[in-house]
Amino acid sequence: RAKAAGGNRYELADADSDARTIARHDLTNCLPGALENGEFFIEYQPLVRLSDGTVRGAEALVRWLHPVHGVLGPDQFIPLAESTGLIVPLGRWVLEEAARQARAWRNDGRCRVPLRVNVNLSPSQLRYPALVAETVAVLDNAGLDPSALCLEVTESALIGADEEQLRPLRQLADLGVDIALDDFGTGYSNLAYLRRLPVSTLKLDRSFTRGMQCVPADPVDVKIVEGIVSLAHTLDLSVTVEGVETGTQADRLRILGCETGQGWYYARPGPPERLHTLSLADAASCPRN
Ligand code: C2E
Ligand code: MG
Ligand code: MG
Ligand code: MG
């Protein structure tokens, strides 16, 4: 945790190679204790308004500083947390921590605009009966307006959900919480279904924005992004793009009408203290760490 807070860089181990070396049961066994021992920490990655480069907020991305294996990325333990039920308390902790952090950014006064925070929700959390009540309580305790929070839900978590199962999300949306459809485009959404979902933002998966890095841009990817943006805007949804790694890519996605960008071009996920600096700098001139 100290290492992360100090802002030292490390690379998250590649999930595949790690799966070979770290036994699944080993991680599963120490997962519950890890939450009690405070071994989780959050990195924040800025969300940037493409039209003018302002930092509008950040996505909270959880990491586990394992006493033996070092820093593990969410792909290595979220599926385990999900299958063992620990995701509910872990997700609650992430939400509390992220809300506390958003409050701290707002109190600090050095940010250009009041920063919002994005938190990922997993499928079990959506089924957890106290989700709405707990989220409202967390926002209250942090003194945050619901619009300061965006909850990211993957497309695959919502596929096949009926009105009853969507109710918690709809209640949160009605309260003013922003709901984003994460990894959009990877889950075979039925497009007619999209208009029934209580979402306000599509987060376009990295696989669609990759072709925008090439010179010239991949013409098929350009058409796909164009189509998705036009669909999103017809449905009154805004578009956030993941995986913005180059300036050319950022320009193209802005010209195609995407509202918000996130990616290594602006900043890698990092400690919360860095948001002040990033918010004050012109995002385009941010260090490309
Ligand atoms: P996601 O929500 O789609 O998050 C974006 C992922 O893309 C992050 O990976 C981020 O580090 C990575 N990324 C950001 N910019 C770039 C870029 O320019 N290039 C490339 N190649 N990658 C980029 P990370 O941190 O490993 O997180 C993986 C996934 O784990 C997240 O995907 C999210 O679904 C899940 N996750 C993270 N934190 C939480 C959490 O607190 N709760 C739950 N349920 N899931 C979480
Ligand atoms: Mg996400
Ligand atoms: Mg995503
Ligand atoms: Mg993704």
pTM of the entire structure? Answer: 0.92
Q: Is any atom of ligand 1 closer than 6 Å to the C-beta of 94? A: yes
Q: Alpha helices, DSSP H only, in 37-177? A: 74-84, 87-108, 123-127, 131-142, 155-158, 163-175
Q: What pLDDT does 122 receive?
A: 95
Closest by alpha carbon to 268, among 289, 239, 246? 289
Could you say which ligand is closest to the alpha carbon of residue 47? Answer: 1
Closest C-alpha residue for ligand 1 atom 14 = 263
Q: For residues 15 and 275, which has the higher predicted lDDT (pLDDT)?
A: 275
Say how far apart CA 286 and CA 289 lie, in whole Å.
9
Could you say which ligand is closest to the alpha carbon of residue 269? Answer: 1
Mean pLDDT of 25-35: 89
Say how far apart CA 47 and CA 54 lie, in whole Å.
9
Per-residue confidence at 121, pLDDT binned at 50, 70, 90?
very high
**Dihedral (Cα; 279, 280, 281, 282), 10-degree rounding:** 80
Which residues are paired to 151 by β-bridges?
Answer: 119, 179
ipTM score assigned to the predicted complex = 0.97
Q: What pLDDT does 26 receive?
A: 83
Question: Which tokens hold the place of 123?
Answer: 């499928």
* Predicted confidence (pLDDT) per residue in 84-110, tens digit: 999 999 999 999 999 999 999 999 888
DSSP H or E stretch at residue 182: strand 178-184
Q: What pLDDT does 21 receive?
A: 58
* Predicted confidence (pLDDT) per residue in 215-264, tens digit: 888 899 999 999 999 999 999 999 999 999 999 999 999 999 999 999 99
